[in-house]
Amino acid sequence: MKHQLITVAIAVATVAIALASGAHRRAALVGATISGFTAVGSIVAMGRAARARRPLQGALAVMTVTFLVRILLVSIGTILVARASEDAVAFVVAFFGTYFVYAAVEAAYLHSLRQGTGPTA
């Protein structure tokens, strides 16, 4: 539960920072929002997958699918931001600036799942 709360707190904070980013606010807000929504969705889905018989494999599958969804959304978002004559750099910085933080939280969550899987070979 703590990883989910950390992810939500980071998402709220980055959206608030994007709102205060001045002239590039709209593009940064789109990037931070897409990054935040996918991160929250990913960590919640990983939590659900962790209740399965093989929790680590399920969580890894969720992480893989979410990564592919993020690639798709970043490309669509970049195109839409550029077509709206907004700053694509602000979008990309807002998205990837937080993406790596979310990836670290997700990796920590995966590591916590590994703790109770039994002896290693």
**Helices in the chain by DSSP H: which ranges?**
2-19, 25-49, 55-83, 88-114
The domain ranges of the chain are: 2-114
CA gap 11, 75 in Å, rounded: 20
Q: What is the pLDDT of residues 81-116, one digit of tens each?
A: 999 999 899 999 999 999 999 999 998 988 887 765
Q: Say which DSSP state 84 is in.
A: T
Q: What is the pLDDT of residues 16-73, one digit of tens each?
A: 999 998 888 999 999 999 999 999 999 999 888 888 888 888 888 888 999 999 999 9
Compute the CA torsion angle 4, 9, 10, 11 (nearest 10 deg).
90
